[in-house]
């Protein structure tokens, strides 16, 4: 083991991974600058106010986190995974302390720390991947067992689900369930167990949709966008107009119209529609390609990792990033029901950006051990 660590230090930083992430980071700042210019001018008196905050609070801290995590031997996360997961649960519980939790849009997802806002569910995504990779590695021979593998896995997901549904945050729960399910399969779960888990997941999401009228409306609008164009279908209708208006080449950077108080959440889950309106099919294809190449790079690092824990950890981080990006872009394009999750590296949100960059640092460290 010491020899492996010494040889890993001799490996340089994975430049391909670094350039992909920095490319997404810079591209995200440009996209955010355009998408937020109206609200930014209204709230800060300049068109780049939100992008500057993203750069300093999310990007600045995130780049520091990435530099630190890229130098921490990835095997150390085995010991830290459970404490980080428990810290995530504590932070999620603090959301419901009146003086600390901040609500918006009918959801309580942010902790108010003075002038700063923090979203604990973003930390939970990474912490759960760290813990699940460690758990699957420790139970390699028991994962295929129903009693010692599948049932404990379902219990873990249920605990995470309770915390997220209390907010509520169905989008994050969906991303975590998909990521965890794929990681469970890669960790040794049987195909029959994975099929059972998929059926359980579908039944659970069906029940949750039936219990909340606004979720049911989103599903109805997904199958028939014209059902309520001024109500539940307003966002997807305006997003379709934005994407369709972009055509092949787009209207031009900064020239989109839907961000002018037509399309809700132009800096958040609708930002891909704003970008497509301005940069067209070519711009959207370039952004999707960056995410796809980042995913492929993560898979390559996982394949070449020297041990099972490294393989599972790299795969979990890569799958988590790609799943969230796919769900965001597919939902705002009308290919999935709306979920309200941010587009990684692009949507406004310092917590999401900082955690994504920290996860990238872990990927970089694993690549140095290959």
pLDDT tens figures, 321-344:
999 999 999 999 989 888 888 999
Q: What is the mean pLDDT of residues 263-277?
A: 92
What does the pLDDT read at residue 232?
Answer: 74
SS3 sequence of the chain: CHHHHHHHHHCCCCHHHHHHHHHHHHHHHHHHHHHCHHHHHHHHCCCCHHHHHHHHHHHHHHHHHHHHHCCCCHHHHHHHHHHHHHHHHHHHHHCCCCCCEEEECCEEEEEEECCEEECHHHHHHHHHHHHHHHHHHHCCCCCCCHHHHHHHHHHHHHHHHHHHHCCCCHHHHHHHHHHHHHHHHHCCCCHHHHHHHHHHHHHHHHHHHHHCHHHHHHHHHHHCHHHCCCCCCHHHHHHHHHHHHHCCCCCCCCCCCCCCCCCCCCCCCCHHHHHHHHHHHHHHHHHHHHHHHHHHHHHHHHHHCCCHHHHHHHHHHHHHHHHHHHHHHHHHCCCCCCCCCCCCCCCCCHHHHHHHHHHHHHHHHHHHCC
pLDDT tens figures, 77-101:
999 999 999 999 999 999 988 888 8
pLDDT tens figures, 143-168:
888 888 899 999 999 999 999 988 88
What does the pLDDT read at residue 5?
Answer: 44
Q: pTM to 2 decimals?
A: 0.92
What does the pLDDT read at residue 331?
Answer: 92
pLDDT tens figures, 109-143:
888 877 778 899 999 999 999 999 999 999 888 88
What does the pLDDT read at residue 2?
Answer: 42
What mean pLDDT, rounded, does the chain reach? Answer: 90
Q: Does the structure show a pLDDT above 80 at 179?
A: yes
Q: What is the mean pLDDT of residues 296-303?
A: 96
pLDDT tens figures, 193-210:
989 999 998 998 888 888
pLDDT tens figures, 28-58:
999 999 999 989 988 888 888 999 999 998 9
pLDDT tens figures, 236-256:
889 999 999 999 999 999 899
Q: Does the structure show a pLDDT above 90 at 8?
A: no
Q: What is the mean pLDDT of residues 176-186?
A: 94
Domain boundaries, the chain: 2-368
Q: Does the structure show a pLDDT above 50 at 182?
A: yes
């Amino acid at each position: 083991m010491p020899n492996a660590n010494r040889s890993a230090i001799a490996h340089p930083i994975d430049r391909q991974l670094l350039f992909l992430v920095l490319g997404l980071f810079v591209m995200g700042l440009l996209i955010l600058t355009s998408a937020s210019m109206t609200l930014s001018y209204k709230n800060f008196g300049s068109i780049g106010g939100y992008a500057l905050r993203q750069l300093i609070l999310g990007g600045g801290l995130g780049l520091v986190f990435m530099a630190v995590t890229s130098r921490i031997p990835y095997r150390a996360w085995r010991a830290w995974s459970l404490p980080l997961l428990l810290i995530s649960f504590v932070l999620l519980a603090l959301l419901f302390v009146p003086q600390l939790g901040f609500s918006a849009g009918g959801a309580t997802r942010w902790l108010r720390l003075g002038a700063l806002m923090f979203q604990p569910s973003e930390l939970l995504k990474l912490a759960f991947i760290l813990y699940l990779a460690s758990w699957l590695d420790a139970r390699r021979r028991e994962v295929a067992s129903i009693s010692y593998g599948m049932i404990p896995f379902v219990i873990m997901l249920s605990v995470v689900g309770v915390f997220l549904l209390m907010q509520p945050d169905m989008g994050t729960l969906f991303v975590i369930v998909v990521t965890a399910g794929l990681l469970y399969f890669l960790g040794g779960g049987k195909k029959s167990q994975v099929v059972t888990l998929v059926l359980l997941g579908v039944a659970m999401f069906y029940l949750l949709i039936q219990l909340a009228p606004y979720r049911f409306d989103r599903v109805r609008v997904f199958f028939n966008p014209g059902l309520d164009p001024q109500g539940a279908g307003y966002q997807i209708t305006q997003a379709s107009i934005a994407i369709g208006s972009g055509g092949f080449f787009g209207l031009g950077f900064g020239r989109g119209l839907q961000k002018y108080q037509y399309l809700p959440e132009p800096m958040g889950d609708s930002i891909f529609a704003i970008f497509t309106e301005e940069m067209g099919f070519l711009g959207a294809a370039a952004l999707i390609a960056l995410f796809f190449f980042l995913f492929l790079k993560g898979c390559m690092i996982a394949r070449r990792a020297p041990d099972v824990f490294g393989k599972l950890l790299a795969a979990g981080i890569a799958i988590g990033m790609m799943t969230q990006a796919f769900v965001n872009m597919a939902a705002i394009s009308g290919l999935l029901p709306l979920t309200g999750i941010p587009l990684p590296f692009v949507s406004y949100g310092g917590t999401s950006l900082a955690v994504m960059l920290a996860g990238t640092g872990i990927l970089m460290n694993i690549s140095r051990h290959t």
